Amino acid sequence: MANNNQQEQRVPGFACPQCGRFIATSITELLSATYLQCPFCHLQLHIDRRQSSKALNALAKVEAARLNVEKKSKFNR
Ligand SMILES: [Zn+2]
């Protein structure tokens, strides 16, 4: 049951709080941008770094691990 959403989790993003549509983003963008804009309703979502620093730190670790894997697979070629 917990793995039902595996495919969706491959694309990082979240549902827009205004229109409810899926906003695809990248972890890098989440970490570097000060706000994101919904491509459907153009709602601007400001990223509160102090409030979400825990979540952002966790994301940064995941992203670092992912980049490490990509580097290694490149070296193996
Ligand atoms: Zn929206």
Nearest residue to 68 (alpha-carbon basis) of 24, 52, 76, 11: 76
* CA 65–ligand 1 middle distance (angstroms): 30
Q: What is the pLDDT of residue 22?
A: 93
Residues 33-66 pLDDT 10s: 888 899 999 999 888 878 878 888 888 898 899 8
pLDDT of residue 35: 87
| Residue 31 in this model has a pLDDT that exceeds 70 | yes
Average per-residue pLDDT for the chain:
82
Q: Distance, CA 18 to ligand 1 centroid (Å)? A: 5
Q: pTM of the entire structure?
A: 0.56
What's the gap in Å between 42 CA and the centre of ligand 1? 6
Centroid of ligand 1 to alpha carbon of 10 (angstroms):
20
Higher-pLDDT residue of 41, 12 = 41
Nearest 5°: phi and psi at 48?
A: -85, 100
Q: Where are the domains of the chain?
A: 9-75
